[in-house]
Structure 1
């Protein structure tokens, strides 16, 4: 097992003509301090230690992840530039259409699915409903009077809100914030009633009692949110996730992709790393590039349908 892990790490570390490893650039589509940045630095920091290959994270946030993706789409396919992206990657084709400066499926090779975590519905203590059924009843009684904050148009949380409105047959208003902390502050103080968030962003509220985590959007109980029910218990079939993953530019040799996948699987399975991912609310499972690609196709289909049916527009 150790031999296979070391082989994977070696394959994941391309060498120069002189036989010395070059720095591998990890272009992160999100800013410092968020979930994507935490997981990215956790994985690649440990992978650098394991392999002796230097992985340097470069944060290039903005434009729903398209700035970072554009950089990697144009990079040489030699294994020295990676993209660390998240849920917006599977929303953007429907959200931006032909305006995207790259082809999401054609220009990137899926490598490794590094995090999957449910979204959440979090309510202010100033807001009376305590369950999904009570929330739906309140929204039915007073359409468009309940405000829910998210971190952006087309975000995983916006998709979750739009799907909730459609499946519950209600109209909860969307309030767009520059980032999740800004939405969180207004929700806690009661300026808005709800925040559609994710598990990592909700654990602190749950433990401190500063807000009420009404439900999560996964299929199974979430260990770090004990007792919090799934939306699907009230709306059967309801399921959304926020995910993180690693991509290479199209045309990168397959042995590099396979080696990087093996090295990342081994790194994520280390107890010290796995414990931190679980603490964030991550649903851990080893995965191959093919499995990640299959997961993505399901996300493309779901997000594309919600964007079309809810008429979500980037402008």
Structure 2
């Protein structure tokens, strides 16, 4: 096959994307982010949207609408007109909430929010404060067994991927570490650094700068294979075979949005993650990307629905 010059690829993508996007979308497009400013979902969303806007010649405006495990933003987008003017940027809680809230959700996740593109996946991490005694996962498990319920671990909310990661650790290791739910990442991070809470489940992009600054230790990650940016950090599966959890981010559109428009956005996003500048920024964060079609992302979402339904039932996670 004859190689196509990079410039040719960009021009071809632009030509294919222009018609439906130009007709269906205004110049400014709202991207409702379900999470707080400064967190992983916000950072990755802004990197992706800036690159997407530059490629398409449109302004993607990111608005942070955190609250209720992402349901505030999801409800707003589920009720938005299906004209391409409003999109949802959501993360792992999107696939947990149907099992966690059941029929209390004010929208139907499958019916009302259409997958557009899976923007990233990343393992979760188990961090400890520098003053915490156990410095390995086996040592932590032994310590936790000696004082059931005597240890606290922070996450950014009930039902998050980090909360599920903690409860899966408790379940598989036969221990009881108490869950402390914070409303946003900054407070959890500050309490961990100060030693007011000894442990925190987070994710690679959030952990990496703290680790590089020497402010915390990273005891383990939740992926099945080594993580390049976490050199020397073991996987939980090395101690607890079969242990694996992930955090992911993705873009969604309201039900009724044109399939042509969604397909063109997906094609543009696939092009964006191949751009060296964007790929370098995401890789440096530990945010793993991969090409995916709308159908790929829809299938992935179904897998995540099923996985978290099992986790919620097995670990008895509840929201009162």
Answer yes or no: same fold by TM over 0.5.
yes
- The answer to whether the aligner puts 1:6 opposite 2:10 as a matched pair is no
1:195-251 deviation digits (Å, cap 9, x = unpaired): 111111111222122211000011221121111111111111111111110011122
- The answer to whether the aligner puts 1:198 opposite 2:203 as a matched pair is yes
Matches within 5 A, 1:42-121: 42-121=47-126
Q: How many residues align?
A: 312
Separation of aligned partners in 2, 1:230 and 1:55: 37
User: Corresponding residue for 1:267?
Assistant: 272
Note the residue ranges of structure 1 that are not aligned, 5 or more in a row: none
User: Corresponding residue for 1:313?
Assistant: 318
Conservation of the 8 A alpha-carbon contact between 2:36 and 2:184: no
Separation of aligned partners in 2, 1:96 and 1:114: 25
- The answer to whether the aligner puts 1:142 opposite 2:138 as a matched pair is no
Q: CA deviation at 1:93?
A: 0.6
Q: CA deviation at 1:21?
A: 4.2
Conservation of the 8 A alpha-carbon contact between 2:100 and 2:159: yes
Separation of aligned partners in 2, 1:199 and 1:100: 29
Conservation of the 8 A alpha-carbon contact between 2:125 and 2:218: yes
1:189 to 194, 199, 220: 194
User: Corresponding residue for 2:3?
Assistant: none
Change (3 A) 1:127 1:21: closer
Change (3 A) 1:246 1:12: farther
Note the residue ranges of structure 2 that are not aligned, 5 or more in a row: 1-8
Q: CA deviation at 1:49?
A: 1.4
1:298 to 292, 300, 303: 303
Q: CA deviation at 1:8?
A: 4.8
Separation of aligned partners in 2, 1:286 and 1:261: 10
User: Corresponding residue for 2:228?
Assistant: 223
User: Corresponding residue for 1:153?
Assistant: 158
Q: CA deviation at 1:257?
A: 1.0
TM-score for both structures, normalised by structure 1: 0.94
Conservation of the 8 A alpha-carbon contact between 1:91 and 1:300: yes
Separation of aligned partners in 1, 2:300 and 2:135: 32
TM-score for both structures, normalised by structure 2: 0.93
Conservation of the 8 A alpha-carbon contact between 1:8 and 1:263: no
- Higher mean alpha-carbon deviation, 2-11 vs 53-62, is at 2-11
